[in-house]
Amino acid sequence: MKKRKLGSSQVQITPILMGTSQAGKHKWVGIEDADSIKTIRAAFEAGITTIDTAAHYGEGHSERIVAEALSDVRACVEYATKVFVHHLKYDQVIEACERSLRNLKTDYIDLYQIHWPSGAFNSQTVPVEETMSALNRLKKQGKIRAIGVSNFSRAQLAQIASYGSIDSLQPPYSLFWRKVEKDAVPYCMKNNISILAYSPLAQGLLTGKFALGHKFDPADNRAKNKLFQGENFEHAHQALEKLRPIAHLHNCSLAQLALAWLIAQPQTNAIAGARYPEQAKDNALAVKVKLSAAELAEIDAISRTVNDHLDDSSDIWDRSMPILTQVAK
């Protein structure tokens, strides 16, 4: 799999990244460590060498699983992890990075990201210059190779970028959720910041496996995802039916088509999670789907039949509903 340069850094990443939130097991059910290890290894063997994790995924459990799967090939992979919003003070960032280094059994992290902007989840507000001062120190020491942010708006991104080089933004981004295009994408393009899209399959909606009228268990966090509700769900199903002939033409799945469209967008890469090895292998095959300019335009038009009906909020979640337990599917 041909790699791409991460922002202005010297780090090279694969256009499809392996997402490992489920490997943390926290707020997920039915996840076995042995499956996670096999799946991460299968992703690597299929050509996906960039692995995205976070300290918050199971309080370091995901990071430890990544290390168990890939320590013997560390020189051939890129680790991207994150510091959580409750650890953004100077000393906390340093300590959190050291924990992640131990969890990952490595002496450097390729991409270290701020998971959420300061103040999120009622956290204490920490000046961005204090957090960036710690990150810049870690970078100078060689403990991290690049700095990124996740869930930042354009304004927040521009603010933090004034205190140091930011090489990536990780937002929710898919064919059915394109809010970032109106907000941060133009800034990223102008400033050579790579986009690492999470939820690139809209939590499985873009696989086409959920029938119209499907009802999620209240314990499944998709029950509060706006895309699975009411008219949004209906518009999505209509769009999927229009996408099927294009996928058939390329002899690929709807999921692979959605990933192929996403990584064809400017400076955009996709973080695709997987529960089992075959899913990871299927995700990797998306790079072989080559879409013409006409097909990209057609897919764009189909996508807008969903996006144009969404409200103006940048939040994909219906906050009036409680968050319970994530159910792995």
Active site residue 57: yes
Determine the Cα angle at 79 with ends 77 and 82, to 5°. Answer: 170
Q: Which of 253, 265, 199 is nearest to 226 (CA)?
A: 199
Q: Name the pTM for this structure.
A: 0.94
Contacts of 62 (CB under 8 A, 6+ apart): 20, 21, 23, 24, 25, 53, 54
DSSP state at residue 174: B
* Domains of the chain by residue range: 4-204+253-289
Residue of 57, 79, 112, 198 marked catalytic: 57
Provide the residue-wise pLDDT of the chain in tens; the chain has 329 residues. Answer: 999 999 999 999 999 999 999 999 877 778 999 999 999 999 999 999 999 999 999 999 999 999 999 999 999 999 999 999 999 999 999 999 999 999 999 999 999 999 999 999 999 999 999 999 999 999 999 999 999 999 999 999 999 999 999 999 999 999 999 999 999 999 999 999 999 999 999 999 999 999 888 887 776 777 788 898 899 999 999 999 999 999 999 999 999 999 999 999 999 999 999 999 999 999 999 999 999 999 999 999 999 999 999 987 777 776 554 443 443 43
Domain spanning 4-204+253-289 has what CATH number?
3.20.20.100
Q: What integer pLDDT is reported at residue 28 of this predicted model?
A: 74
Q: What is the Cα Rg of the chain in Å?
A: 19
Structure token pair of residue 300: 């764009």
The span from the CA of 151 to the CA of 135, in Å, is 18
SS3 of residue 182 by DSSP:
helix
The 10 Å Cβ neighbour count of residue 219 is 13
Task: Compute the C-alpha angle 175/114/20, nearest 5°.
Answer: 60
Which residues, 6+ apart, have CB-to-CB distance to 37 below 8 Å?
Answer: 65, 68, 69
What does the block give as tokens for 84? Answer: 């959580």
